[in-house]
Amino acid sequence: MSRVSLLEVKIPEDRYEIRLSGSGGQGLVLAAMLLAEAIGADASKSVIQTKSYGPEARGGASKSDVVVSTGEIYYPKALHLDLLLAMTQESLNKYYPDLKAGGTLVIDDTLVSKLPTQDYYGLSFTRIAKEQLKNVMVANVISLGAIAAITNVVGLDALLTAVLARAPRGTEEVNRIAVETGYQEGLALKLKKNPPTN
Amino acid sequence: MPRGDRQLVMGNMACMRGAIYAGMRFYAGYPITPSTEIAEGCARELPKLGGHFIQMEDEIGSIGAVIGAAVAGSKAMTATSGPGYSLMQENIGYAYMIEAPCVIVNVQRGGPSTGLPTKVSQSDTMQARWGTHGDYTAITVAPSTVTDTFTETVRAFNLAERFRTPVTILMDEVVGHMQEMVSFPEPGECEVFNRTKPTCVPSSYMAYGPSKTCVNPMPSYGEGYRWFATGLTHDAHGFSTDKPEEVVVELDKLRNKITNYEDEICKVRAEYMDDAEIAIVSYGSVSRTALQVVKLAREAGVKVGFVQLQTVWPFPLKQLRELLAKTAHVIVAELNMGQIVGEVERVALGDTKVHSLLRYDGDIFTPMQFLEKIEEVRS
Amino acid sequence: MSIAAKEAGARQESDVVLRYLRPHVKFPNMWCPGCGNGVVATSLIRAIDKLGLDRDNVVLVSGIGCSSRMPVYLDFQALHTTHGRALAFATGVKFSRPDLKVIVITGDGDSLSIGGNHLIHACRRNIDITTILINNYIYGMTGGQISPTTPPGAHATTTPYGSAEKPFEACDLAKGAGATFIARTTVYHTTQMDRLMMEAIQHKGFSLVEVISNCHTYYGRLNRLGQATALLRMFQEKASVQDKGTNMVDDRTKDMIPTGIIHRDSEKTELCDEYQKLIDSLAKGKPA
């Protein structure tokens, strides 16, 4: 047998790995599904979404992974995160170690106060949902809008299409506003963090 | 498969869609994580097709209703997970005995007992083979992707109808809950098998007893045959017997109708096996990562091969014996404390060494775990 | 009626019964001589015959126990299932094929002990199944153990000092669970039994006919109640026949067996009908 050690083998980096995390009931599994649908609308991309949750329908830790690749996806979960969304302090503490060096961290600063790094995007998804949109249920959708603005993983149009396709009747408008609000907030934050240089 | 309407589909939904594609029009079930989406999907879709969905009082009732609907003339299915699968076992044995075609889905979670309701496992592999009491021969298939779940569900129904027997689909939490962008076959694209019906006059019909194919035709209820089905060991007419010579004929027939057709039933996927020095044998969601690792190893010049058991039971003895004949090492990877590895040990002849890669903490193998195991075997 | 006319009538009746027995089965049957199961079987045959049902569309489903062997001998479509589960199987048959007439034959152990859950839920769903519950107060097939209907103090092989338990009233249970036709009779009252069977089979919804029967081999012997005839005499003496209406006098307090129609509700909707409405409305493109 050849003497190449497989422990030295570099696992190809043709994957973009996303984790949406928080507590049960925050709608993160649904958000991951919407994100996967929006990304997968581009036929050149493979996408796979998995979830991990406790036995309860509400409460407890909850996370959902979305893996994106231009090739086939085999191992279906995320290992080295390119993007971590943490909607609670507990989920941030738990999953921050999985974030790659240079990976993107997005947190809900309504519910997260202790940060392990200065390099993050903090937005008040829950507060915005409650105060501006009068509907705490759409915090997850606002976060998706912000992700679309902060990263290049999904476009605003594809995201809107995916969200509206799944929105229960009568909630289309609040969901549309949620995506757009998140997108605007994300864009502003990104601009603040990375001022244009010319 | 044509690139038709691509959509994000959960494994459990692909199972439901595959079953409907195969002609399933009756579903009885009881909610249990991580299989419940299959029931919810059937509740939504079946009445639109004139089919019937019922949530039964428990899993014993669910499999009972499924068998009742099956002999009455429907293609019928139930889905559950470990605890429910345990409850169903007595009636699954009844289905073997009366030769009722039906499909039982087990989306496996960690056990024993209530175990890990939301975590992946493959620890019901042996239960799918030996779950009910008595001697019998089981058919079990195991999908590894969302697309696979659709096609294997269609195949499970075809096998059930073809051999007049219950068939288990061993899914797992990862396959059941993962969502992938897929497009499904158009109607007519996949073969769908329907049970053979008798053409003789009712007075000469025998539901059991000698037949060329080992499988007797089966009429629907109300077609004039008025046949008798019992869980008691029975004669050719279906009536109970304890005459040793009749008992042996009946039990042999139940076995032979499956073992004589293993070539048709056993499906194994093999890649890079021609010159493989190390083979990885796996099934279910584990096969995804196994294939990735085999490709990585090959790129590094290490001769590793991939074997996926798409049919887990009957164990594909013949195919595995041929595939592993020249392989020095076999790594059997499974999410349990070592179940299918014993079967592989039985087929590994000569100098082939069998190694076990096990995980039973509620998560799947990472590529690195595979690579480490291969290195361990190589050194 | 003259003796000759009576004999001719009996001959005619037994001809009817013979027409519905299976040709392949080796008689005699497995029941003890004098067992009430045969009385119930012939009554069921007469009821089906009088109703003119197409025998190809009649499905007998049973579980495990002496009474559950009945579908072996009767020439209808038959499913002899596992212990206690007959109603679950029957639910699958009926719900998938509402065009079939489904009749469940069960005993007190089969339907009230191991199968109690399926019984109450079949009642609750009001699915159009007729259940003939033959209650002989004991497990016969396994050799005389107590059942959920064994009276307090009664002797069985598992209550050698008398039973300390309280029994179920099958009809009360069925009523509480939502069955819409409930009747009780005994193996002595065959004319009444024929009529109740016919009414139960014709009833749209879940119907239960409890037939009090004799297990002289075990219940009679272990409790020193005598042979079959003695038990039949006891049923004759204890039964109050009052099947004129649904407002029966509950005289069980006087150690009596009230017989007749105990409860009838023709208003409650039936499961298969309701589901068919859903199918039809979805076919028209609007959910119910």
Which domains are seen in chain B, by residue range? Answer: 7-182 (3.40.50.970), 267-378 (3.40.50.920)
Name every residue whose Cβ is closer than 8 Å to that of residue B214 and which is 6 or more positions away in sequence.
B253, B256, B257, B260, B261
Closest CA–CA distance from residue A45 to any residue of chain B (Å) = 9
Q: Is A138 on the interface with B (CB under 8 A)?
A: no
pLDDT class of A55 with cuts at 50, 70, 90: low
| Amino acid present at B242 | D
Tens digits of per-residue pLDDT, C228-269?
999 999 999 999 877 554 445 544 455 788 999 999 999 999
State residue A56's pLDDT score: 57
> Half-sphere exposure of C270 toward its Cβ, with a 13 Å CA cutoff?
20
Instruction: Answer yes or no: is pLDDT of B100 > 90.
Output: yes
Tens of pLDDT, residue by residue over B231-287, are 999 999 999 999 999 999 999 999 999 999 999 999 999 999 999 999 999 999 999
Tell if the CB–CB gap between C118 and B61 is shorter than 8 Å. yes
- The dihedral over CA atoms of A164, A168, A174, A175, expressed in degrees to the nearest 10, equals -40
Instruction: Please check whether residue B318 is in contact with residue B107, taking contact to mean a CB–CB distance below 8 angstroms.
Output: no
Q: Say whether B174 and A54 touch across the interface (CB within 8 A).
A: no
Between chain C and chain A, are at least 3 CB pairs below 8 A?
no
Which residues of C are less than 8 Å from B50 in CB distance? 279, 283
Residue B112, SS3?
A: coil
Is residue B86 within a helix (H) or strand (E), and if so which, with residue range?
Answer: helix B82-98
pLDDT over 50 at B3, yes or no: no
Among B146-155, B359-368, C25-34, the least confident range: C25-34
Calculate mean pLDDT across residues B16-41. 98
Instruction: State mean pLDDT over B88-94.
Output: 98
Domain CATH code at residue A170: 3.40.920.10
Q: Which of A12, A37, A79 lies nearest to residue B366, judging by beta carbons?
A: A79
- Biggest CA pair distance of chain A: 65
The DSSP line for C93-105 is: HHHH-TTSEEEEE
Closest-CA residue of A relative to B298 is A6
- For the record, the structure tokens of C135 come out as 């209650």
CATH architecture of C15-283: 3-Layer(aba) Sandwich (3.40)
Distance from CA of C108 to the nearest CA of B (A): 19
Residue A57, pLDDT score = 55
The three-class DSSP label of residue A148 is: helix
Between C248 and A30, the more confident residue is A30
Mutate to test the interface with C, among B228, B237, B246 (most CBs of C within 10 A): B228
Q: For residue B284, how many other CB atoms are within 10 A of its CB?
A: 27
Evaluate if residue B183 carries a pLDDT over 60.
Answer: yes
| The pLDDT value given to residue A198 | 65
A98 burial (CB, 10 Å; 0-12 / 13-18 / 19+) is middle
CA–CA separation, C118 and C86 (whole Å): 8
Dump the DSSP string for C163-205. Answer: --SPPP-HHHHHHHHT-SEEEEEETT-HHHHHHHHHHHHHSSS
Mean per-residue pLDDT, A132-152 = 95
The full DSSP string for A84-125 is: EEESSHHHHHHHGGGEEEEEEEEEETTT----S-S--EEE-H
| pLDDT for the residue numbered C254 | 54
Q: Is C132 helix (H, G, I), strand (E, B) or coil?
A: strand
Q: Using the beta-carbon criterion (under 8 Å), do B174 and A74 form an inter-chain contact?
A: no
Q: Give residues with Cβ within 8 angstroms of B204, minimum separation 6.
A: none
CB atoms within 10 A of CB C172: 14
CB A64 within 8 A of CB A50: yes
pLDDT of residue C1: 66
Two tokens, residue C266: 């023709």
Whether residue A139 is contained in a domain is answered as: yes
Work out the pLDDT band at A5, boundaries 50, 70, 90: confident
| B65 closest CB neighbour out of C71, C80, C88 | C88
Name the nearest CA neighbour of C57 among B74, B219, B224. Answer: B224
The SS3 call for residue C264 is strand
Please indicate, yes or no, if residue A72 is contained in any of the structural domains: yes
Helix (H) or strand (E) holding C240: strand C239-241
Task: Give residues with Cβ within 8 angstroms of A168, minimum separation 6.
Answer: none
Domain extent at residue A70: 14-193
Residue C246 confidence (pLDDT): 47
Report yes or no: B342 at the A interface, CB cutoff 8 Å: no
Edge-to-edge strand list for the sheet holding A121-123: A121-123, A99-108, A81-86, A15-23, A61-69, A46-53, B179-182, B7-10
Q: Which of B366, B169, B54, B284 is nearest to A75 (CA)?
A: B366
Give yes or no for residue B65 having a pLDDT over 50.
Answer: yes
pTM: 0.95
Interface contact B250, partner A, CB < 8 A: no
**Residue A73: DSSP 8-state:** -
* Residue type present at position B196: T
Partners of residue B64 in chain C, C-beta under 8 Å: 81-82, 85, 88-89, 91-92, 118
Domain ranges of chain C: 15-283
Mapped onto helix, strand or coil, the DSSP state of residue A82 is strand
What pLDDT, in 10s, does the model give residues B294-342?
999 999 999 999 999 999 999 999 999 999 999 999 999 999 999 999 9
Looking at residue C136, its amino acid is N
Peptide bond into B185 cis (omega under 30): no
pLDDT digits (tens), chain C, 288 positions: 688 888 888 888 888 999 999 977 778 899 999 999 999 999 999 999 999 999 999 999 999 999 999 999 999 999 999 999 999 999 999 999 999 999 999 999 999 999 999 999 999 999 999 999 999 999 999 999 999 999 999 999 999 999 999 998 999 999 999 999 999 999 999 999 999 999 999 999 999 999 999 999 999 999 999 999 999 999 999 998 775 544 455 444 557 889 999 999 999 999 999 999 999 999 998 655
For B314, the token pair is 């009957």
> Cβ of A6 and B367 within 8 Å?
no
Cα separations (Å) of B340 from B124, B291, B337?
A: 11, 18, 10
Contacts of C141 in chain B (CB under 8 A): none
Judge whether B301 and A4 are in contact, CB under 8 Å.
yes
The CA distance from A14 to the nearest CA of chain B, in Å, is 13
Chain B contacts in chain C segment 53-72 (CB below 8 A): 55-57, 59, 61, 71-72
What one-character DSSP code corresponds to residue B240? B
Question: How many domains does chain A contain in total?
Answer: 1
Q: Which of A1, A11, A47 sits opposite B302 (nearest CB)?
A: A1
Pairing of strands A46-53, A61-69: antiparallel
The pLDDT of residue B7 is above 70: yes
Chain A contacts of B285, Cβ < 8 Å? Answer: 76
Give dist(CA A152, CA A159) in Å, integer.
12
| Spatial distance between the Cα atoms of C54 and C31, rounded to a whole number of angstroms | 27
Contacts of B222 in chain C (CB under 8 A): 56-57, 77, 97, 99-100
Write the single-letter amino acid at C39: V
Residue A189 lies in a domain: yes
d(CA B93, CA B70): 15
